[in-house]
């Protein structure tokens, strides 16, 4: 998801909502492991693991739209998600889930102009 942008109009500051980044869909097996799932997400987003905000990962079924967002930040919560998906898939083979997390962390630390001259030659 992208952070909201602040827009100034006159003397008031409004927060302008931005559309989230969307990727996928991705098909995964019910027997997938935590590490393999994270690798699939990293490949899809073309990032490294240090950019993922795993603590903020959540999931829910697309239908009904008011289904609650549940955490998916470790192997146990992922296994719970997969069990729920298996049960739902038996009832409705066209059902699917949505994963979300906070904005990706930058993999590069910003280089300050004055540190370039200090680097060893």
pLDDT digits (tens, 9 = 90+) for 72-120: 999 999 999 999 999 999 998 888 888 988 877 765 544 445 445 544 5
41, exposed or middle or buried, with CB in 10 Å at 0-12, 13-18, 19+?
A: buried
pTM of the complete model: 0.67
Considering the chain, what is the average pLDDT of its residues? Answer: 79
| Correct CATH for 19-104 of 3.40.50, 3.10.20, 1.10.150, 3.30.70 | 3.10.20
Kindly indicate the confidence band of residue 45, based on its pLDDT and cuts at 50, 70 and 90: confident
For residue 20, how many C-alpha atoms fall within 13 Å in the half-sphere facing its CB? 10
């Amino acid at each position: 998801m992208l952070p909201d942008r602040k827009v100034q109009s006159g003397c008031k500051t409004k927060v302008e909502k931005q559309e989230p980044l969307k990727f996928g869909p991705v098909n995964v097996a019910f027997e997938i492991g935590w590490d393999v799932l994270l690798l699939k997400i990293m490949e899809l987003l073309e990032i490294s693991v240090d950019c993922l905000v795993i603590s903020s990962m959540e999931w829910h079924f697309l239908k009904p739209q008011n289904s609650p967002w549940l955490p998916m930040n470790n192997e146990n919560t992922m296994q719970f998600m997969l069990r729920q998906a298996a049960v739902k898939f038996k009832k409705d083979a066209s059902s699917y889930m949505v994963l979300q997390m906070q904005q990706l962390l930058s993999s590069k630390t910003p280089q300050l102009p004055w540190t370039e001259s200090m680097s060893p030659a």
